Structure formats: C-alpha cells, structure tokens
Amino acid sequence: MAKHVVWFRQDLRVSDNTALWRACEDPAAEVVGIFCATPQQWAEHDMAPIRQQFIRRNLVTLQQALGELNIPLVVLEGTDYADSATRVLSFLEAQSADAVFINREYAVNERQRDAQFDTALPDSIRCYWHHDFGIAPLGLLTKTGNPYTVFSPYKRAWIERWLREPNLSNPIPAPRKVASALVATSIPAPKPLRTDPLWPAGEAAARSRLDDFCARRLKAYKAHRDLPALPGTSELSPYLAAGVISPRVCLETALHANEGLLQGGDQGADTWISELIWRDFYIHILDTFPRVSMNRCFRTEGERIPWRDAPDDFRAWCEGRTGYPIVDAAMRQLVQTGWMHNRLRMLVAMFLTKQLLLDWRWGERFFMQHLIDGDLGANNGGWQWAASTGTDAAPYFRIFNPVTQSEKFDASGEFIRRFVPELSELSDKEIHLPPPIMRASLATPYPEPMVELKFARSRALEAFQSRS
C-alpha cells in the first residue's frame, strides 16, 4: 500500500486543498497529514502572538476534520525553517513514505526552505508541488513577456485567463477506506489560551462567515466597505491568511451571488471580487520580485527617501496618542483586537509615512507583530502603496488628511467613540479634531496633535521630491 504524506502550511483545511486532494486521488493509498510549527522562525518574521494562537487553534479543528476522513494529523515542534525541512524529511523516511504533497509558499525564506527540502529528498520519495494560496496560476505575463507591475492590466489578464481556464475548487476528499495505523498528535492548547469571539477557529466558522457575508452584505459592500463603524467587510482575512478557507471557494460563492459574473454585475459583488484579484496580484508580486520580502522598496528610488529618525513619534503612533482621533482609534483597534479596518490601514499608514515621514518598514513590522491576518504579500503591498514606494503606488503628493477622512467615513464619530472613549461626550462635529480647550478639560486629557497637517504635507513633498 502506498503511503502519501501531506505537508500542511498555510492551508489549514480539508475543503479545496489541492495537495490534500491529490494525495487522496489513489483510493488505496494511506494518507497522513503533518504540520511543523516553527516558533523561532515565526518570531523572526514578527508573527503576532494572536496569529500564532489562531494557527494553533485551527490545527485542532483541522485535526478533527482530517480524523473524520481517517487521516491522522501529526504536529511537530521545530525551531526555524531549516529545522522544519529536516524534521519533515526525517518523518517521511521513518514512515517509509512513497510521496509527499505540498502547497507552495512564495516569500524568500519559505522558498529557501523548500529548495533545501527538495535537494535533500531521496529519489525514493516523490514530491508533488501545487499552487493553492491564490486563485490564478502564477506566471501571468504581459504581451512583451514581462511580469505585471500594475494592477489594472494584471486584472484584465487575470479575468481573461479565468474565463478561458477557470480554476475551480476541489471537494472534500472521501474518507479513506482504511484508517492509518499512525496515531494523531495530541495538540496542546495555546498558552496563554485566548478564546476569541471575534475569530472562532475552523472551516465551518469561516464558511458560515462567507455565506452570511454574501447573502446579507455583499450587495452593500462597495457602499459600506469604507465605513469602520459598520460590519461592511467580509472579515475573512484571518481565515484566508491561514488558509482555513480557500480563495477559490470565496470567488465561487461571490459568483453565485453575482449571477456568475466576474465583472459587470452587482457593484458590491464586483468590488469584492476585485479585492480577491488584488490578493492574487500581491502573491504574484511576492513571487516575481523577491526583494519586497527582503525589506526593500519595490520602486528602487524609494530607498533614497530621507526618512526621519524619530522613535518617540513612532511610539506615539503605535500607542494611539497622535492627537488625531481617527488615527488613534484605528491604532487602538489594532492593539486591542488584532485587526484593523482596511480603510483605516491605508489612513494610518499614510499618516506614518507622509505626515510623520517615518520609514514604512517600521509600520509594516508593527502591523505584522499585531495582526491576526498578517500576510506578508498583502501587508507589504499595502504599506508600500501608502508610502509611494510600491506597485500601483499612491502618487507621493496624494496624502490623506486624517480630519477630512474622519468626517467622511466616520461622520457621527461612532467608531472613534468605540476606541477613544475619552472623547465620547464630544459632539459629532468636535470629535474629529477637538478644540484645545476641550482636550485639556476632559476627565482623561487627550493630547494635542503631534504635527500640524499643512507643515507635514510640505515636509513630505520636499522629502519625496529630493529622492530623484
């Protein structure tokens, strides 16, 4: 009997998991799952504790789901990626595995790990690599044979490719007729255990959230997605980042709600489908331009921006003490919940890089240290967009005004009051930029703005113009 091993990484699910599906195609094969935790590597990559816990919580639900398929899941504890490659190889040899099935990852360190593993793998064990983290196959090129660096033409090529060759999801494999003799690993609860009502673990929770979003909120997505006080987004990003739900399943569910149309249907559905394509675009950039996962600017001229060295200003931004209520509310949401509304991610990133003129890499790292959905491609792409150093970058002279953004997207101050409660008694008009006399008279004093916006804009323009 053949023995097939599935090496789980960012694909903690049994539904629409390409590596798992392929491993199960032989009905007579014994199938075993393996996951290798690498806490040292996670720390070196600034993975947020809440994200580490989310991964471990989802390993428990994955093990249960695999158990129903008569597939045991063995969880190994390693240190870094090099150690994980060695441990998985040792496991394969100890189990006399015939083949291993793996869904690829695309950042530099992950690719180095996989190259090390591939080189060390004996000829007796076959290895099958699959693309599963995104929807479209990698390698989309322009007519001149170059990789896409701008989203709009990439999106057109993406849609053309999908219409020509739709990449459809795979069902859950049938239960194995004979259970493996291998005993599944007992997975200890993460310490400290965080029972998070915002992000319950498991495919069922993710699928329920997807179905609810598409049934009740998808049509209003375009109108509501920029309003942080409303549940206007899908809130699926933690599940997508950990691979608890597949982007293909998300797309197919959205298409079902959009009469089968990728574009040209309901505006809300069209907009959300476009966000799924953005996710693929950032995977494409991560794969094609390795420098973005090496702390380097996508646009090389970005390395010449004269960023300020102001750690105290950075600390105030991190702690939600900038004196601009919408910025402070967003940063407190991140620290308290492990998540931040997407409109606010753009706003606080631009505040750090433009108003404070601090290096985008400081903010990128802080986000990864706190986000439950910390995905390198999307996080790096968003930060470099805001800093005008990345693909499809905002022009350096486009600088969000935090006061007007607040007035536009949180007009009543509902979101601000939720996370900056010391301002809760202010009027809807005053709360966006409280007058100095009010700041000092509050029961909990609120700081003055740390920078004057007109001055900050002028300083940023001068700094960005000097890079050429």
CATH code, domain with 366:
1.10.579.10
Indicate the pLDDT class of residue 180, thresholds 50, 70 and 90. confident
Catalytic residue among 7, 383, 385, 401: 383
Residue 216: DSSP 8-state: I
Residues 307 and 408 in one domain: yes
Residue 399: DSSP 8-state: -
Strand order in the sheet with 30-37: 73-77, 30-37, 3-8, 99-103, 126-130
Q: What is the pLDDT of residue 344?
A: 98
Catalytic residue among 77, 342, 414, 430: 342
Q: What is the pLDDT of residue 195?
A: 54
Q: What is the pLDDT of residue 393?
A: 74
Residues 237 and 314 in one domain: no
Judge whether 21 counts as a catalytic residue: no
Catalytic residue among 307, 407, 414, 422: 307
DSSP string, 101-154: EEE---SHHHHHHHHHHHHHS-TTSEEEEE--SSSSPS--B-TTS-B--SHHHH
- What's the mean per-residue pLDDT of the chain? 95
Catalytic residue among 167, 278, 407, 430: 278
Model's pTM, two decimal places?
A: 0.96
What does the alpha-carbon distance between residue 355 and residue 362 come to, in Å, rounded to a whole number?
14
Q: Greatest CA separation found in the chain?
A: 79
Amino acid at 139: G
Amino acid at 320: G
Last residue of a domain, one of 133, 153, 180: 133
Judge whether 199 counts as a catalytic residue: no
Distances (CA, A) of 96 to 4, 69, 139, 169: 10, 21, 35, 31
CATH code, domain with 158:
1.25.40.80
Catalytic residue among 162, 199, 272, 360: 360
Range from 211-215, 343-347, 435-439 carrying the lowest mean pLDDT:
435-439
Judge if the upstream peptide bond of residue 306 is cis by omega within 30 degrees of 0. Answer: no
Judge whether 360 counts as a catalytic residue: yes
Spell out the residues 6+ positions from residue 152 whose beta carbon is closer than 8 angstroms to its own: 392
- What percentage of the chain exceeds 70 in pLDDT? 98
Q: What is the pLDDT of residue 373?
A: 97
Select the more confidently predicted residue: 385 or 198.
385
Last residue of a domain, one of 232, 263, 288: 288
Catalytic residue among 275, 414, 422, 430: 275
**Cβ–Cβ under 8 Å, residues 298 and 391:** yes
pLDDT at 92 over 70: yes
Q: What is the pLDDT of residue 196?
A: 64
In a domain, 177, yes or no: no
In a domain, 348, yes or no: yes
pLDDT at 136 over 60: yes
Residue 10: give the domain boundaries: 3-133
For residue range 393-450, list pLDDT tens digits in order: 778 899 999 999 999 999 999 999 999 999 999 999 999 999 998 888 898 999 999 9
- Kindly state the average pLDDT of the residues 348-354: 98
In a domain, 237, yes or no: yes
Indicate the pLDDT class of residue 176, thresholds 50, 70 and 90. very high
Cα-to-chain-centroid distance, residue 448: 33
Range from 164-178, 215-229, 398-412 carrying the lowest mean pLDDT:
164-178
Residues 127 and 143 in one domain: no
Residues 118 and 148 in one domain: no
- Kindly state the average pLDDT of the residues 348-375: 98
Judge whether 339 counts as a catalytic residue: no
- Kindly state the average pLDDT of the residues 152-169: 94
pLDDT at 135 over 60: yes
For residue range 289-307, list pLDDT tens digits in order: 999 999 999 999 999 999 9
Last residue of a domain, one of 110, 133, 156: 133
Residues 93 and 142 in one domain: no
Judge whether 342 counts as a catalytic residue: yes
What does the alpha-carbon distance between residue 278 and residue 272 come to, in Å, rounded to a whole number?
10
Number of domains in the chain: 3
Q: What is the pLDDT of residue 189?
A: 64
